[in-house]
Amino acid sequence: MSPTLSGAVLRSEWTKARTLRSTPWLLLTTFVITVGSNVAFAFAIRNSFDRMPFEDQQNFDPVYSGFIGLSFGQIVLLAYGVLLVTSEYTSGTILPSLAAVPGRGAFYLAKWLSGTLAALAVSVVTVYLSFFLGQWALGPHGTTFTDGGVLRATVGGRLYMTLVCSFAMGVAAMLRSSVTSLVILIPLFFFVSPMLNNISALQPVAQFLPDQAAMRMIEVVPNDESVLGPGTGLLVMLAWNVATLLGGYLVLRRRDA
């Protein structure tokens, strides 16, 4: 990518991201949906805990159980990442943007930074508030921040949300269409991936899909049904990000706006 990334380019992309009409609403919705669903699921698990099979009680992961809502919040962050990239193609402002920043690598990198840094900031607040409220909702079945693996899992939650947004930006950069990108991404994350992961014959492959790999990053108790752990789940998610972001850059560099 172009080495000419400057503060001016970064400020320009951040201004466009900040003033995009959907940005504050999508980021706020990410926070509300994620925290709210995490607390709701935690209360539900607390109320049904005594009816769980003994084996499930023994292998209970309070951190993962308090982060179930991340799978709902990620859908909103997908939309945020897509719209951040495709809004300029929809409005036609991509032409003056590329004219102002001839180095397409610098333009692409600045746009990616503006999106992922915003997603990271929201993720930090969302994940830690979700953790503390979720463990409170779990009551006697919850855990504390100082227990083994908890700090690592909360860091994994922040990375999970941020990398989902980054992945969506790469896909959107390749497709250049908000509708096409969302029609592919939302069913993939919300329906297709969980469904495939529940089919025993396909589960060995489905566990390497982006969201399934990312879910391993928030576990403290290992998942015996997956060959991935927190570290390998992160590596798989990073590989997906590298592939889509590189694909998006190649499309931007080779095709006219």
pLDDT digits (tens, 9 = 90+) for 54-103: 888 888 999 999 999 998 999 999 999 999 999 988 888 888 888 887 78
Structural domain includes residue 224: yes
Are 100 and 107 contacting, i.e. CB atoms less than 8 angstroms apart?
Answer: no
Confidence of residue 3 (pLDDT cuts 50, 70, 90): very low
The pLDDT value given to residue 18: 82
Structural domain includes residue 157: yes
The pLDDT value given to residue 166: 97
Structural domain includes residue 1: no
The pLDDT value given to residue 125: 96
Q: What are phi and psi of 254, to 5 degrees?
A: -100, -20
pLDDT over 70 at 1, yes or no: no
pLDDT in tens, 158-217: 999 999 999 999 999 999 999 999 999 999 888 888 888 888 888 888 999 999 999 999
Number of domains into which the chain is organized: 1
C-alpha span between 211 and 207 (Å, rounded): 8
For residue 83, give the nearest of 62, 111, 58, 110 by alpha carbon: 111
Structural domain includes residue 14: yes
C-alpha span between 64 and 60 (Å, rounded): 9
In 10 A of CB 7, how many CB atoms?
8
Structural domain includes residue 107: yes
Ordered DSSP codes for 43-97: HHHHHHGGGS-HHHHHT--HHHHTTTTHHHHHHHHHHHHHHHHHHHHHHSTHHHH
Structural domain includes residue 2: no
Of the listed ranges 22-36, 85-99, 225-239, the one predicted with least confidence: 85-99
Structural domain includes residue 68: yes
**Percent above pLDDT 90 for the chain:** 61
CA 218 to chain centre: 12
The pLDDT value given to residue 96: 84
Confidence of residue 128 (pLDDT cuts 50, 70, 90): very high
In 10 A of CB 221, how many CB atoms?
15
The pLDDT value given to residue 4: 56
**Percent above pLDDT 70 for the chain:** 97
Ordered DSSP codes for 151-199: HHHHHHHHHHHHHHHHHHHHHHHHH--HHHHHHHHHHIIIIIHHHHHTS
The pLDDT value given to residue 2: 44
Structural domain includes residue 102: yes
Instruction: Kindly state the tokens that stand for 50.
Output: 């005594």
pLDDT in tens, 139-164: 999 888 888 889 999 999 999 999 99
Domain region containing 139: 7-254
pLDDT over 70 at 13, yes or no: yes
The pLDDT value given to residue 146: 85
